[in-house]
Amino acid sequence: MKKVTIAEVAKRANYSSGTVSAVINAKNSVKPATRDHILKVMKELNFRPKGVARNLKKATQDKSIGIIIKDLNYPFYASIATGAREYANSKGYSVIVASSESDHEREKELSHLFSEKDIKGAIIAPTVEGRAEIEHLFQLRMINYPFVLLEDVKGIQANVVAIDNSKAIKRAVTYLIDSGHTKIVHFAGPPNSSHTQERIEGFRHAFSESTLAFHKDMIVSIGSNYDESFAKTLEYFKSRSRENYPTAIVCFNDLQALAVLTALKELKLCVPEDISVIGNDDIYYAKIYPVPLTTIRAPQHEIGKRAAEILIENIESATVLPPKRVVLDTEFIIRESSKVLKH
């Protein structure tokens, strides 16, 4: 199945390529009868003019940026994308989004796709599996392709807009300790995520600055998707006696926290009376939930906006700019899923 070109259409229709081009571009210099005839031939041959070739000569260059997120369905990323989109749109850029599904290979493919399609730059939530596989980032850098990462990646100095996960969790845990909780556990995320590591670190750090001792049993791996977290929560509580229940759970993220809340309800445990639950991210649905979730708010909108800002600055710069690193503050939001035990 060979590609049909404009030349073939022209030959078949007995007109020149210029006229066919005029038809495609809806120029009004073409006689209606000619136009109809050429359109008919185009349809017969299923002629699809190659966008790549069309744009080569075209004067007007479109402006567009891409975002590679890890999960289309997790509202956290959708909000970041929206923040980026709003800023980019205000600067005249279109925005397209793609999901890597936390798959390093797919991330690589997508970043190639973006650069090959002349998407002017990319915001990337990077997935680094095992040892740092970051050739694709160096590849982008080689062709001076502007990009901004949403997490630090070891081994490359690049534009980064991120939050301090460790500090954020530490703050929440310190709050729990200060409010009299002693039996605190962390329901941790997927082991291969750098976020998981940072959050565990923050958890430990809070203990090291308190009078309480950290114990590794306090870290419970509980998966990242809802169903898995729900099941593992049930399992966790069923496998221990009531006096060994924690009084507070710090979750990896809000979706997981919602799963925990639902599981606790099924176990007839009350939140926050029996157990305090703290989430992370402050996704849209965290505050909609009937027991509004105490959580650590990542400024999703702002993250997207700042990333887009830096990206566009790089795109429009005539020279290669030095990498920028922005760490945004999180906000600890106390709602109704946590309670103070003593003062």
Find tokens 């680094």 and name the residue: 128
**Interface pick for a second copy out of 5, 11, 91, 113 (rule CB under 8 A):** 113
Q: Does 25 bind DNA (CB under 7 A)?
A: yes
- Cis geometry, peptide bond prior to residue 191 (ω within 30 degrees of 0): no
Supply the minimum distance, in Å, between the C-beta of residue 193 and a second copy: 20
Supply the minimum distance, in Å, between the C-beta of residue 52 and DNA: 7
Q: Does 320 bind a second copy (CB under 8 A)?
A: yes
Supply the minimum distance, in Å, between the C-beta of residue 53 and a second copy: 6
Q: Are 49 and 39 in contact (CB under 8 A)?
A: no
Q: What is the DSSP string of 132-175?
A: ---HHHHHHHHTT--EEESS--TT---EEEEE-HHHHHHHHHHH
Find which of a second copy, DNA, none residue 319 binds, CB within 5 to 8 Å per kind. Answer: a second copy
**DSSP classification of residue 291:** S
Q: Does 305 bind a second copy (CB under 8 A)?
A: no
Q: Are 282 and 256 in contact (CB under 8 A)?
A: no
Supply the minimum distance, in Å, between the C-beta of residue 120 and a second copy: 9
Q: What is the DSSP string of 8-77?
A: HHHHHHTS-HHHHHHHHTT-TTS-HHHHHHHHHHHHHHT----HHHHHHH-SPPP-EEEEEES-TTSHHH
> x-or-dash pattern for a second copy, window 190-229, by CB under 8 A?
------------------------------------x---
Beta-carbon count within 10 A of 101 CB: 13
Report how far residue 36's alpha carbon sits from residue 232's, in angstroms, rounded to the nearest whole number: 65
Range 43-102, binding a second copy (CB under 8 A): 43, 46-56, 62, 64, 66, 72-73, 75, 78-79, 81-82, 85, 94-99
**Interface pick for DNA out of 1, 3, 131, 142 (rule CB under 7 A):** 3
Q: Does 62 bind DNA (CB under 7 A)?
A: no
Alpha carbons within 13 A on the beta-carbon side of 159: 25
Q: Are 261 and 271 in contact (CB under 8 A)?
A: yes
Q: Does 299 bind a second copy (CB under 8 A)?
A: no
Q: Are 256 and 187 in contact (CB under 8 A)?
A: yes
Tokens, residue 285: 């649905």
Q: Does 17 bind DNA (CB under 7 A)?
A: yes
Find which of a second copy, DNA, none residue 109 binds, CB within 5 to 8 Å per kind. Answer: a second copy
Q: Does 336 bind a second copy (CB under 8 A)?
A: no
Residue 4 or 267 with smaller CB distance to DNA: 4
Residue 42 or 264 with smaller CB distance to DNA: 42
Find which of DNA, a second copy, none residue 312 binds, CB within 5 to 8 Å per kind. Answer: none
Tokens, residue 177: 């300790």
Binding residues for a second copy, per CB under 8 A? Answer: 1, 24, 26, 39, 42-43, 46-56, 62, 64, 66, 72-73, 75, 78-79, 81-82, 85, 94-99, 109-110, 113, 115-119, 139, 142-145, 226, 258-259, 261-262, 265, 284-285, 288-291, 317-320
